[in-house]
Structure 1
């Protein structure tokens, strides 16, 4: 376990949530960034487009 990245080591230590949990975390981070992008007029249009794909 010493060679694993810290996030994987922590997951393994607490029961190992596995790849699907890591994928879910990445999607959540991406969604959070898109929500933050809504406040930037230069990024708003793309953020709305990407968010609409998630909820359709």
Structure 2
């Protein structure tokens, strides 16, 4: 995926969350994550991505 495609997909993700509203965004992200995990299909890759996504967010 090139930078332009990445930007387009990220924009679609953000617009979808805006359309769903703040109350449904966490559920949407959880469902999206489960679908993405299934498509990735590699537990090592998924584990690394989970760690990277959490990086810097811990209190």
| Smaller-chain TM-score bracket | 0.3 to 0.5
Name the structure, 1 or 2, with higher relative contact order (CA <8 Å, separation 6+).
Answer: 1
Tell me the TM-score normalised to structure 2 length.
Answer: 0.36
Larger radius of gyration: 1
Q: Going by fraction, where is helix more abundant, 1 or 2?
A: 2
TM-score normalised by L of structure 1: 0.37
